[in-house]
Structure 1
Amino acid sequence: MRSYLPLIVGFGGYNAAGRASGHRAYERMIYESLGQADQRAVVDSLRNLRALSADVADAEVLAGTLVRKLEADVLDADQARLAVNVELQNTAANNSAQFELSARQMPAKLPENWHVEPMDEGGKRFRITVAEPLKVRVPVTDSLQVKAAGQLPSGFKPGDYYRSTHHPRGLQMSVLGASDAVNSVGIDWQRIQDSVDPDDVAVYSSSVMCQLDDTGVGGMMNARVLGQRSSSKQLSLGFTSMPADFTNAYVLGSLGATGAVTGACATFLYNLRWAVEDLRRGRRKVAVVGCAEAPILPEVIDGFAAMSALATDDDLRKLDGVAVPDYRRASRPFGANCGFTIAESSQYVVLMADDLAIELGAQIYGAVPGVYVNADGFKKSISAPGAGNYLTMAKAVGVAKTLLGDELVRNSSFVQAHGSSTPQNRVTESRIFDEVAKAFGMERWPVAAVKAYVGHSLGPASGDQLAATLGVFNRGIVPGIKTIDAVADDVFASRLSITSTDQQLGQDACQIAFLNSKGFGGNNATATVFAPDAINGYLKHHYSNAELKEYEHKRELVVAERDRYLAGADAGQLQPRYNFGNDLIDENGISLNDEEIRFPGFAKAVSLKDSEGLEGF
C-alpha cells in the first residue's frame, strides 16, 4: 500500500503579531529586516486589522502588537476583579447587626443565625438581625503581579466579524482562525469536499484550558459563588473539543473524522500528529488542524504565578535593575529570564495528501513527514522537563536524514524552539539541541524562539511556531530573539546559533525545520517540516512531467484566487466562514445499503467495504 506525503496547502490564524495567512504575523517578527515596500504592507495590514485611521502613525500601529502591557479591553491588570472575605463585628449596644433586604434578595434557605422580620404587609422588604459577627464576601479590584501578555493586536475583536452571541473568546478566535486557513487555500471548500468522500476529511483541534471566561466554564464554575445562575451554554461551549466541534459544524459542515487531543503546551503538535498519520496511511485526504486559546484571565494568571512559572513585574524589575518593567521584553528565551509570558492565539493549517493536492492544483507551503511524541518516564516533578524530548528531537532529525540526506540536514535545517523563557527551559532544552547537533554533525544550528514576540499561548504555541516556519521557508530569514541582550551563560550553545538579530540565511539554507514543544507532565513533541523545494524530488518520483505541468497550470488559478482573498484580508475584510442553522442535512435524504451510504449535499458516497487494512484477516 502506498504512503502519502502530508502537504500544507493553507494556513491562518491570529496572535499578538497579527494575521498568520500571507505570512503577515511572521513579517511583523522580522519587520526590521524587510524592505520599505514590505514594511508598508505589514503596517497597512495591521492598521486595517486594528480598524485605525490613516492618520495614525506607523509606530503606533506597530506598538499595539507583540508582547506588551495588558490592555483594558482584554484584562485591566490594574483593576482585576477580586473578592475578599471579611467578618463584620457587631458594634450596636445590643451586640447585634441589622440590615434590610428585598424579597428578591432573600436566600431560599435562611442562615441559622438570621432573625427575619417583615417590614411591610406585602412582604416586599425584610429586616434581618444577626446576633454574632457576620461573614461576607466583598467584591474589590486589585493589581495583578503579572502585567505582560501576548494579546491580539489592540482593538481587534474577533467576535465583531460574525454572529458570535454568547461565544467564549477562544471559540470566536477559533472560527476566525480556521476560516483564515481554509480561505487561504485558494480553492473553494465545496470543491474540495466534492473531490473526496465525506469520510476522507478530518478536523483535529482543541484547547488546553477549555473556555474559561464568563461565557464558558469559568462563568459556570463561578456562578454559585457569585450568586448567579449558569446559562444553558456555559458548560457545552466550555469543552476542550469545542474548537473542533465549531470547525466541523459551522466552518466546514464536515461529516468526516474529528478529534481533540490535548497535551499541555504540545497540544497543537498532538493534533497535527493525528492528521499526519491519517494522511500518510491514506485514511484521510484532507485535514484541518489547529488550536485556539484565550487564557488571559486573572484566575489563570494567578494559577501560573503560584507555580512561579510567569515573569512577574517584580522579577522583571530585579532582572533589569529598573523601577518600571520593560513589558515588550518580558519574554526572553535563552537569555537572562524569569518566567514565561502568557498569550492568546488561534492557529490552523490545512493539510492534503499529495495526490489530492496535485489533482486540485493546491499551492504547497511545506510538508510534514512526521510528528513524534514521547513521555519522560519516572519524574521527580510533574512540571519538570525530562528525557522524552531527547527521543522526539532525535527521531525528528533522524527521519529528515533518512528522507533528504546528511548534507541537507547539516547545512539547511533550523530549530523552532519551545523557548518558554524560564531559567530551567533555557538550560534543559538547549542541552538537548546541542547533543542532537553533535550527534548529527551540525556546527552552527540556527535556533528561533517565537515566544519572544508572541508569548506562550499554551495549546496553539506550536501553531505559532509553524506559521513562522512557513514564513522562514518563504524568505529565508530566521527571526532573531530580539528581547535578549545576550545568550545566558548556562545555555548549552557550543553547536547552536542563537542570536538577538534576524539570521538572514537565504531560502537554500532553510529547507528543513524542527518544531519542538515541551509540556507539563512530560508531553514532549517534535515535528519535522520540509520546505516546498525540499520535496521536489518526491513529487518528480511519484508524478510524470505531464502531470506536474498540468498541476502547475491549475496552481496558477489557485494562487490568483488565494491572492484575492489575502488582498481583502489585508484591507480588513476577513470573510469568516460561519454557517449557523443553514444547509442542514435532511436525514430523510440519506441513502444507505450494505455497500455504501450517501448524504444529501455531498457529491460522493462513503464506502462500507473498508477493511481497515485487514484484507488477509
Structure 2
Amino acid sequence: MSKLRLPVIVSMGGINAAGRSSGHHAYRRMVFDKLDSSMQYDTLSSLASMCGLELTESFSVEQQQDVLSRTLIRQVEQNHFDVENLSWMTPLDTHDRAGKAMEFECRRKQLPRDLPPNWVVQDLADDRVSVRMEGQGRLFVPNTRIAPVQSAGQLPTGFDPANLYPSRFHPRGLQMSVVAASDALNNMGLAWESLCAALPADQIAVYSGSVMAQLDDNGYGGLLQSRMKGGRVSSKQLPLGLNTMPADFVNAYVLGSLGATGSVTGACATFLYNLRMGVEDIQSGRRRVVFVGNAEAPLTSEVFEGYGAMSALATDEGLRKLDGSDKADHRRASRPFGENCGFTLAESAQYIVLMDDELAIEMGAEIYGAVSDVFINADGYKKSISAPGPGNYITLAKSMAASAALLGESSVRDRSYIQAHGSSTPQNRVTESRILDKMARNFGINSWPVSAVKAYVGHSLAPASADQMMAVLGQFAHGWLPGLKTSGAIADDVYQDNLNFPLDDIELPDRDVAFINSKGFGGNNATAAVVHPAKVEEMLSKRYDKETMNTYQAKLEQTREQRAQYEASVSKGDWQVRYRFGEGMIEESDLDLQRDSLRIPGWDKVIELPSSTPYDDLSLS
C-alpha cells in the first residue's frame, strides 16, 4: 500500500483588519498585551509601516495608541463610504398647483429618448429646450441618509494595496489578492523559480475565489450602476468582477502557474472548501504545491444594505441598546458568544501554501503545521436558507474522530482547542455552542477552549476561516489563545458545561491539534484539523531516517535566513509585491508536444501524459 502524502503548511501571508499575516503580525495584534516589549515593538513597526507612518526606534504611549486605533473593527472609514451621508435616490411625486405646470430648461441631448406624455418641449437657442411638465410626474432626487450599520473590519487605516503595484482598473479584492499571495510567496523563504525547476507545471495548483465577487466600481458594482449613474460600462468591469478572478490573478500575474486552478464557493466556509481541494490533491499525489486562499472586499454600501435587510448585521441602534448607551461602541461591534445583535462585515485576503511532506523535506521548507483532514457536509432539508442544521455535527464529529485516530485520544481530549465560527449573532451563539458542547462531552473533554477571531477582525465571508487559520498558526508559534475580549460576558443562553470561553487571552503552550469550524448560509458546514508543527515533526520522524531529517534541518536554516530578509524588507514598507504583467509569456509554437509528454518552455520537468488508466476493469484497450 502506497503511503498517503501529508499536506504540510509551508507558508502563509495576507492582510486583514489586524494587519499583515506573515510573521504572525496580525495574530500578534490580537494578543498584543501579552507580548513582550520586543514583540510589541515589532508588531507596532509592522502596523506603522502599513499605515504609512514614520518608523521610530521606540513608540510613545500616544504613538502606540494611534497605531493600534487604526486596526481591528472600527467605524467605517470614508475610503469605503460616508456613513453620515449615504448616497440615496429619493422618489419625488409632483403635482401641478392650480393648473400651473412645472417648467425647467436643459440641453436637448439630456432629454430622455421616450418623453413622458405630460411633457411639452419647446426649442430655445444654443441647442437648449424648455420643458413644461403638466399634471402628475415623478422625479428622482439625489439625497443622503445616515447608515444604520457603521462598523466594519477594515484594513489598517492608511494602507492601500493599490499603491503597492500597478493596479489600474483592478477591483479592490483583486488588489488584495495580489498583495496577499505575494506575501505568502515571499514569506516561504524559497525561490519560486527553484520550485518550478523541481516540478512539472501540472503539479502546482491555485484554489482561490470570493463569495460576493468584486462589487466595487471597477467590478460588478460599476457594471450594474453605470446606467443609473449616466456612465458607461468598461471592457474590464465584467471579467474582473468574476468570483474566480482571485485565482486567475495569482496564476497570471504572481506565479505564472500552468497547473490546476479554480474555486469552490461555500458561503462563509469557502476557504475550507478550497482547502479540502488542496489537501486531497496533496494526499493523492496529483499536486505537490498548492496555493489556497481567498479574498473578499465587501465593504460597499450595497452589500451592507443587503445583509442589513436580512437583519444579519450589528446596527448602531442594536449596539446602543445592548450597552444602554446613546453611543454605539464600534470597536466592540462583534461579540461572539456574548450578548450580541448581528455580525460585522470585514475585508480580508489570506493565502497558505501547502506542500506534500516529501517535497517540504527535500526543499528545506518551514513547516507551520499540517492539515490532516477537512470534512464538509450540508444540512439536509431546511425551513430557511440561513437556519442551522445537523451538517456541522457530522463535520466536527468526523474531524475529531479522525484526529484521535491519527494522534491519539489524549491529543483530542487534553491537548486540543476549537477556533469557532463565532459569527456574533444571537442564533449562532446558541446553535454552535450546543454543537461544541456535545462534541466536547462525546470525546471526554471537560473544559474545551473556544476562540473566535471575528471578535477582532469581523466576518470576511470567503476568507473567514482563513482568518481563523492564521490565528491557529500564530497560537502554535506563540502559545496565546486570543480571548473573547469584546464580548464582555458570555450570554446566558450559551451552552458551556464542557466548554471554556475565555474573556481574556489564555496561554495554551501544549496543544497538539486545533479545529477550525465554519458554518455558512445555505447549509455549508466545514471543519478542518490543523496539527501542531512539533507533532508534525514527531510524525515525520517515523517516515524519514535521522540523516534525512538532519539534512532537512540544515536546509531549513537557509530558508529561515531568506524569510528573515523578506521580513526586514516588508517591515520597512517594501512589500516586494510580485506582479508580472505580460512577462515570461509562452508562445504556443514553442510547446514541445510528444505522444507521451509535453515540454513547456521555462520548465525543466516535462508533463507526462497518461499511459495507463485507473479503470482497469473497464478498459477496452
Structure 2 equivalent of residue 382 of structure 1: 385
TM-score, length of structure 2 as denominator length: 0.96
Counterpart-to-counterpart distance in 1, 2:412 and 2:479: 16
Counterpart-to-counterpart distance in 1, 2:8 and 2:521: 29
Structure 2 equivalent of residue 235 of structure 1: 238
Structure 1 equivalent of residue 553 of structure 2: 552
Q: Give the C-alpha shift of residue 538 in structure 1.
A: 2.4
Gaps of 5+ in 1: none
Q: 1:387 to 1:129 in 2, by over 3 A?
A: same
Structure 2 equivalent of residue 533 of structure 1: 534
* Counterpart secondary structure, 2:465: helix
Q: 1:513 to 1:611 in 2, by over 3 A?
A: farther
Q: Give the C-alpha shift of residue 36 in structure 1.
A: 1.1
Deviation per CA, 1:63-121: give whole Å up to 9, x if none: 01001111112222112211111123224x6532222221442334434433322212x
- 2:111 maps to 1:106: yes
* Counterpart secondary structure, 2:211: coil
Counterpart-to-counterpart distance in 2, 1:390 and 1:439: 11
Structure 1 equivalent of residue 340 of structure 2: 337
Structure 1 equivalent of residue 584 of structure 2: 583
Choose which of 74, 84, 88 in structure 1 pairs with 2:90. 84
Choose which of 239, 254, 258 in structure 1 pairs with 2:257. 254
Deviation per CA, 1:263-300: give whole Å up to 9, x if none: 11001101111110111000100000111001111111
Q: 1:162 to 1:139 in 2, by over 3 A?
A: same
Structure 2 equivalent of residue 416 of structure 1: 419
Counterpart-to-counterpart distance in 1, 2:223 and 2:385: 28
- 2:271 maps to 1:268: yes
Q: Give the C-alpha shift of residue 610 in structure 1.
A: 5.7
Structure 2 equivalent of residue 404 of structure 1: 407
Alignment of 1:126-165 (within 5 A): 126-165=129-168
Counterpart-to-counterpart distance in 2, 1:179 and 1:74: 24
Matching residue's letter, 1:67? I
Matching residue's letter, 1:462? S
Deviation per CA, 1:200-251: give whole Å up to 9, x if none: 0100001000111111101111122222211111111111101111111111
- Of residues 575-584 and 102-111 in structure 1, the stretch that sits farther from structure 2 once superposed is 102-111
Choose which of 52, 65, 70 in structure 2 pairs with 1:64. 70
Q: Give the C-alpha shift of residue 54 in structure 1.
A: 4.5
Contact 2:596 2:611 in 1 (8 A): no
Choose which of 327, 346, 365 in structure 1 pairs with 2:349. 346
- 2:305 maps to 1:323: no
Counterpart-to-counterpart distance in 1, 2:604 and 2:128: 66
Counterpart-to-counterpart distance in 2, 1:473 and 1:385: 30
Matching residue's letter, 1:143? I
Structure 1 equivalent of residue 461 of structure 2: 458
Counterpart-to-counterpart distance in 2, 1:505 and 1:187: 30
* Counterpart secondary structure, 1:486: coil
Alignment of 1:458-497 (within 5 A): 458-497=461-500
* Counterpart secondary structure, 1:368: strand
Matching residue's letter, 1:553? A
Runs of 4+ in 1 over 4 A off after TM superposition: none
Choose which of 504, 508, 522 in structure 1 pairs with 2:507. 504
Counterpart-to-counterpart distance in 2, 1:201 and 1:611: 22
Q: Give the C-alpha shift of residue 614 in structure 1.
A: 3.5
Matching residue's letter, 1:7? V
- Of residues 440-449 and 596-605 in structure 1, the stretch that sits farther from structure 2 once superposed is 596-605
Structure 2 equivalent of residue 73 of structure 1: 79
Q: 1:86 to 1:611 in 2, by over 3 A?
A: farther
Counterpart-to-counterpart distance in 1, 2:304 and 2:191: 41
Contact 2:76 2:152 in 1 (8 A): yes
Structure 2 equivalent of residue 364 of structure 1: 367
Q: 1:612 to 1:345 in 2, by over 3 A?
A: farther
TM-score, length of structure 1 as denominator length: 0.97
Structure 2 equivalent of residue 597 of structure 1: 598
Counterpart-to-counterpart distance in 2, 1:114 and 1:611: 76
Q: 1:500 to 1:611 in 2, by over 3 A?
A: farther
Counterpart-to-counterpart distance in 2, 1:610 and 1:457: 44
Counterpart-to-counterpart distance in 2, 1:213 and 1:132: 39
* Counterpart secondary structure, 1:88: strand
Matching residue's letter, 1:490? D
Matching residue's letter, 1:528? A
Q: Give the C-alpha shift of residue 612 in structure 1.
A: 6.0
Q: Give the C-alpha shift of residue 32 in structure 1.
A: 0.8
Structure 2 equivalent of residue 33 of structure 1: 34
Deviation per CA, 1:535-560: give whole Å up to 9, x if none: 22321122121111111111110111
Deviation per CA, 1:320-347: give whole Å up to 9, x if none: 1001111111100011111111111001
Counterpart-to-counterpart distance in 2, 1:371 and 1:70: 34
- 2:398 maps to 1:395: yes
Q: 1:111 to 1:486 in 2, by over 3 A?
A: same
Matching residue's letter, 2:564? D
Contact 2:19 2:26 in 1 (8 A): yes
Choose which of 102, 114, 126 in structure 2 pairs with 1:97. 102
Q: Give the C-alpha shift of residue 131 in structure 1.
A: 2.0
Contact 2:269 2:518 in 1 (8 A): yes
Matching residue's letter, 1:194? A
Matching residue's letter, 2:592? S
Counterpart-to-counterpart distance in 2, 1:233 and 1:137: 29
Q: Sequence identity of aligned pairs in percent?
A: 51
Matching residue's letter, 2:300? L
* Counterpart secondary structure, 2:267: coil
Structure 2 equivalent of residue 245 of structure 1: 248
Q: Give the C-alpha shift of residue 611 in structure 1.
A: 4.4
Counterpart-to-counterpart distance in 2, 1:611 and 1:255: 23
Report how many aligned residue pairs link the two structures: 612
* Counterpart secondary structure, 1:82: strand
Counterpart-to-counterpart distance in 1, 2:112 and 2:616: 67
Counterpart-to-counterpart distance in 2, 1:464 and 1:611: 42
Q: CA RMSD in A?
A: 1.4
